[in-house]
Amino acid sequence: MAAVERALERLADTGRRHPDEQALLSSVLEGLRRRPKRISPVWFYDERGSCLFDEICELPEYYLTRVELSILRSRLSEIAASVGPDLCVIEPGSGTSTKTRMLLDALERPAAYVPVDVACEHLEAAAERLRGEHRGLKVHAICADFTAPFRIPEIAPFHNRLVYFPGSTIGNFDRHEAVQLLSHLRRVARGGSMLIGVDMVKDRHVMVAAYDDAAGVTAAFNLNALEHLNRRLGSDFDLAGFHHRAVWNAVSSRIEMHLVSRQRQLVRIGDDFVCFAAGEALVSEYSHKYTQETFAAMAGEAGWHIGQVWTDPREWFSVQRLVADCSTISAGDRGCRVHARRPSDTA
């Protein structure tokens, strides 16, 4: 994802074709040559897309954010006590750090906060705000793709690392990718723990409505990915030629966001043309939903075991504390047992 964003930045800077632009074009074309055709959910998040996402979080149908916040709010002291004091909190894909603020307020003597995000300006602004609010908390923002290795500098002595991964972001990854990511985050946690937001399987009408709201905000969010592609790659997707669709894929246990071609059409992308049949779908996002069993099995494959699960009364969403399974930690991970007040070293 970072490679994509970096390439996008360069492209915006120079306005001409850079080797990275070629790589970006190639990766988009590679996705469009698959069956079904695919684009990365990264394309949702330009300026307008980020605003639309904030609007989605306020929609009556989009239960995820609201339910997760209600779980955090009602169980906060219990959650904070379970992870312990003097933590170095690392947040992959931190965005505006809204949910983090609640957590940091509840933790006992948080030592350091390390947000990791590809949206660099937003990241630094959020870090600065947190520095103002939490005197004594060391905040070190890392502008990076959290799916790739990143270095965590020595910024404060801490007791343990905690990876904070709310928002059901894990759902965007297919099973294989999710196991890889969870393993990577286990190495980042260095024998510490993780708090993760996980969306659960429920009545399919509830799930579909969350991704196909009556006001059409999600439809605009989905179509905006094509607008973003057009602007950054100079492609000529006709937005009126596609419509939004959200479907529940029961076999893979996921909501899929599709952009469906209204007619047979050719789209130019760079020097290439891609043909869409009438009714053909372009997949723009997967949002996997889990049962407690499927999630625990997946986390287990990545070397985590489930410490605790907090959920809402309807069990629509869950916040889970994962604990690194020491038996699976390899020499490369080092430090399964972390001593009190040990200064952090580099990741």
Indicate whether 171 belongs to the interface with ligand AVJ (CB under 6 A).
yes
Indicate whether 172 belongs to the interface with ligand AVJ (CB under 6 A).
yes
Q: Which is nearer to ligand AVJ, 213 or 280 (CB)?
A: 213
- Mark 216-255 with x for binding to ligand AVJ (rule: CB under 6 A) and - for no binding: --x-------------------------------------
Neighbours of 306 (CB within 10 A): 15
Binding segment toward ligand AVJ, per CB under 6 A, in 136-144, 164-172, 237-245, 302-310:
164-172
Least separation in angstroms between CB 254 and ligand AVJ: 9
Contact residue for ligand AVJ among 68, 91, 145, 285 (CB under 6 A) = 285
Contact residue for ligand AVJ among 168, 193, 261, 318 (CB under 6 A) = 168
- Residues 6 or more apart whose CB falls under 8 angstroms from that of 151 comprise 142, 346, 347
Least separation in angstroms between CB 326 and ligand AVJ: 30
| Amino acid (one-letter) located at 22 | Q
Least separation in angstroms between CB 77 and ligand AVJ: 26
Token pair, residue 12, equals: 């915006």
Site for ligand AVJ in 287-306 (CB under 6 A): 287
Dihedral sign of CA atoms 198, 204, 208, 214 in order: negative
- Rounded to an integer, what distance in angstroms lies between the CA atom of residue 40 and that of residue 128? 30
- Nearest residue by C-beta to ligand AVJ? 287
- Mark 193-222 with x for binding to ligand AVJ (rule: CB under 6 A) and - for no binding: ------------------x------x----
- Rounded to an integer, what distance in angstroms lies between the CA atom of residue 72 and that of residue 106? 10
> If binding means CB under 6 A, how many residues of this protein chain bind ligand AVJ?
11
Indicate whether 308 belongs to the interface with ligand AVJ (CB under 6 A).
no
Least separation in angstroms between CB 300 and ligand AVJ: 23
Q: Which is nearer to ligand AVJ, 218 or 318 (CB)?
A: 218
Site for ligand AVJ in 53-82 (CB under 6 A): 56, 64
Indicate whether 100 belongs to the interface with ligand AVJ (CB under 6 A).
no
Least separation in angstroms between CB 344 and ligand AVJ: 29
Binding segment toward ligand AVJ, per CB under 6 A, in 32-40, 167-175, 201-209, 229-237:
167-175
Task: Specify whether the CB–CB gap between 165 and 182 falls below 8 A.
Answer: no
Indicate whether 284 belongs to the interface with ligand AVJ (CB under 6 A).
no
Binding segment toward ligand AVJ, per CB under 6 A, in 76-84, 113-121, 165-173, 271-279:
165-173
Footprint of ligand AVJ (CB under 6 A):
56, 64, 167-169, 171-172, 211, 218, 285, 287
